Amino acid sequence: MLPAGDNQLVQIVNAATADAARRSGDWLKCRPGCTQCCIGVFPISQLDALRLRHGLADLERTDALRAGAIRRRARESVARLKPDFPGNLETGQLDEDDPSFAGFANDEPCPVLDPTTGTCDLYSARPMTCRVFGLPIRSTDGIGVCELCFDGASDSEILDGELQTGWTSLEGSLNTEAEQASGRKGSTVVAFALLA
């Protein structure tokens, strides 16, 4: 079961990203059909994994055919990932400190990406990384943006659209709840999360 505060977290993040997208204007190139951020595996939290599984269960009730296609793509993805997976194959827990993770499966499509439409079949349940990708976001390495967005923008234009991430402590506490509820710790990837 998802922690009770997950809906609040999603609303906070959606409001913050909508504000940053408004401030970013035409520099933000993210649109349905742009799949740049949907190719290559990336770590997701156990909260994200739990939200994805709930989204898939909801889709199963309304569109079993589409849910079945996601499950098939997830199985196929896990089969491709297993030989070199930098982590625990039983739990899907990722070892982000493994040096091989940096170049791991950079061409692997996300299993919830509909290959025909180029859209996300679990959009409302997508991980936090997917929600914030593309927008200028601050990290210990500085401000990062998608390579397709802000092409030619000045530093001040990029900073004008910076995403304010005041939700991280709430996300952290909800992730702790999700780890306790699921019995799984650490990060995973979308394909393993969907098959857990």
Q: Is residue 68 part of a domain?
A: yes
pLDDT surpassing 90 at residue 120 = yes
Residue 114 lies in a domain: yes
Q: Which domain holds residue 25?
A: 6-195
**In this structure, which long-range contacts are made by residues 172-180, counting pairs with CB atoms below 8 Å and at least 24 apart in sequence?**
173/5, 174/3, 174/5, 174/6, 174/9, 174/47, 175/45, 175/46, 175/47, 177/3, 177/47, 178/2, 178/3, 178/45, 178/46, 178/47, 178/49, 178/50, 179/46
1: in domain:
no
67-75 average pLDDT score? 98
Across all residues in the chain, what is the average pLDDT? 94
Q: Tens digit of pLDDT for each residue in 20-70?
A: 999 999 999 988 888 989 999 999 999 999 999 999 999 999 999 999 999
State how far the Cα of 13 lies from the Cα of 15, in Å rounded to an integer. 5
Angle between helices 46-62 and 6-24 (to 10 degrees): 100
| Tokens (6 digits) for 165 | 């991430």
Q: For residues 11 and 39, what is the distance between their CA atoms, to the nearest angstrom? A: 26
Residues sharing a CB contact under 8 Å with residue 171, sequence separation 6 or more, in sequence order: 9, 45, 47, 128
Evaluate whether 46 touches 175 at the Cβ level (below 8 Å).
yes
Lowest mean pLDDT among 32-36, 88-92, 135-139: 32-36
For residue 142, being part of any structural domain is answered with yes
Output the pLDDT for position 172: 97
Q: What is the pLDDT of residue 163?
A: 96
Residue 102 has pLDDT above 90, yes or no: no
Residue 37 lies in a domain: yes
Is 21 inside a domain boundary? yes
Q: What φ, ψ does residue 34 adopt, rounded to 5°?
A: -80, 115
Whether residue 139 lies inside any domain: the answer is: yes
Tell me the average pLDDT across 127-146: 91
Find how far residue 5's CA is from the centre of its chain: 18
What is the C-alpha separation between 26 and 7, in angstroms, rounded?
29
**Considering the chain, what percentage of its residues have pLDDT values greater than 90?**
86
Number of structural domains in the chain: 1
Q: Is the pLDDT of residue 150 over 90?
A: yes
Residue 45 belongs to a domain: yes
